[in-house]
Every structure is written in C-alpha cells, then in structure tokens.
Amino acid sequence: MKYALLLMGHLNDPACGEDGGADPEEFFAFDREITAAGVVVDSFALEDPDQAVQVSTGDDGERIVSAGPFAEVREFVGGGYIIEVPHLDDAIAWAKKSPASAAGGHVEIRPLAPY
C-alpha cells in the first residue's frame, strides 16, 4: 500500500525552539535511513511558507492570487514522502522515526487513493 507522509510544522510554536524545529541534519539522517530501506517512492521538501502563493476564488467568482506570508497560517507542510509498505503500522513506524514528529510538528499519514 502506498502512503503519503506529510511532514507538518507549526509557526511560532515554542516547542520548536529558536530555529523552528528539528535540526536539518536530523532530517538528512532520516532521509538516508528511509531511502536505504527501499520504501520511498518519491519525496519532496518545500521552501518556507512565506514563499507561498495562494490561488482562491473571491465572492464574485473570480480567481484571486495572493503572495505569502499569510498571517492566518500557523500550520504548514514542510515536505513529504510517498512510501510503499505492506501495512499502515509500517507507515506509522516510519512517521515515529521522522524528526517532523518531534515537539512542534507532526506527520500526517494518508493512504494514496487508488485512482
């Protein structure tokens, strides 16, 4: 089964420490481990949320393009993995190993839709 591991962070969370979360070296080590295990189908890392552009629809039905940072955003996706493992328990085990599941963040696990 394929699962998305979405590495979530939280802006201005005191549990994140001065630098906003786990040390990058912890993420590099996790990446080496999960890649070496042969379960990674794909992965990505995203720039900080202040680099985001948002497209939405206004009350008049027209599309609106807004550039970040967005004051209302507190939680953000920092990156993710698509992994293929036999069971949800295996995906949970990888999420527990991720530095993103440490204080100040979490890993959201979602099965990929089969279509």
Contact 52, 68 (CB under 8 A): yes
C-alpha distances in Å from residue 62, one per residue of 3, 8, 49, 56, 59:
35, 30, 24, 8, 7
What pLDDT does 20 receive?
56
CA 49-42-22 angle, to 5 degrees, is 45
Rounded-to-integer distance, Cα 90 and Cα 109, Å: 11
What tens digit of pLDDT does each residue of 55-87 get?
999 999 999 998 876 666 678 888 999 999 999
> For all residues of the chain together, what is the average pLDDT?
88
For the residues 16-43, what does the mean pLDDT come to? Answer: 86
> Could you identify the residue written with the tokens 């699962």?
3
Residues with Cβ within 8 Å of 87's Cβ and at least 6 positions away in sequence, in order, are 1
- pLDDT above 80 (res 18): no
Q: Which two tokens stand for residue 104?
A: 């100040």
Which of 110, 104, 115 has its CA nearest to residue 22? Answer: 104
Question: Could you give all domains of the chain from N- to C-terminal order, each with its CATH number?
Answer: 2-111 (3.30.70.1060)
